[in-house]
Amino acid sequence: MDSAPFVYVLGFVAQGLFSARILVQWIMSEKAGKVVSPTIFWVLSLIASYLFFIYGWLRNDFSIMLGQVIGYCVYIWNLKAKGVWAEMKPALKYFVGFVLAATPLTLLGLMLKDPSAAAESLFSNEKVPLALLLLGSAGQVIFSLRFLYQAIYSARRGESLLPAGFWIISLIGSAIIVTYGIIRLDPVLILGQACGLVSYTRNLMIWKKNRA
């Protein structure tokens, strides 16, 4: 099932949303003449991350699942920092929170029904040797840590910002994930991350120009 057409469709939809958030942020930054952190960036991030987590589960790809779990809380924090979370109607807020929390917990519960089989599919997958799994996981962790860095940086300043360090970490993590995707023969990872590399570089250029 990990190579079924609908699985790749789900992955491309998730990556499409990831690319859309970067494109919107890039356009808004170009217009503002500085790097901005629009609300839509975080909304699309949260939706895309949810879908990509499911894609990782269907692909038996631990590195993808790990990367998305790390991003969950950071996306919500930024929405809270922008006041979006507080402005949501209570029923909608609880529903979204429940879905975001219940999905990974449900999938974890399904895996724990047969831990040995789950461990074998995630960590002993012949399509993903241990060395490759470690490479992919390292890329996902680094890529996800950019949001942890962003959250700490923003929290100290009391507002949601996208600093230069965020884009530098993005470039490093993305380059590793592209390498992993090429070896893994995963078109979703290759296309999604390759598009991001251009935007990350451009945001650094905008940041440097604005700083100058």
Domain ranges of the chain: 5-211
Which pLDDT score is estimated for 13?
92
Long-range contacts of 76-85 (CB under 8 A, 24+ apart): 76/46, 76/100, 77/151, 77/155, 78/37, 78/42, 78/150, 78/151, 78/154, 78/160, 79/39, 79/42, 79/43, 79/46, 81/154, 81/155, 81/159, 81/160, 82/39, 82/42, 82/160, 84/39, 84/42, 84/43
Tokens representing residue 86 in the block: 């507080």
Which pLDDT score is estimated for 168?
93
Cα–Cα distance for residue pair 197/100, rounded to 1 Å: 28
Which pLDDT score is estimated for 120?
60
Q: Give the rounded percent of residues in the chain with a pLDDT score beyond 90.
A: 8
Which pLDDT score is estimated for 96?
80
pLDDT digits 0-9 by tens, 54-72? 888 888 777 777 777 777 7
Average pLDDT for 9-13:
90
C-alpha pair distances (Å), 94 with each of 8, 52, 89, 102? 30, 22, 9, 12
Which pLDDT score is estimated for 188?
83
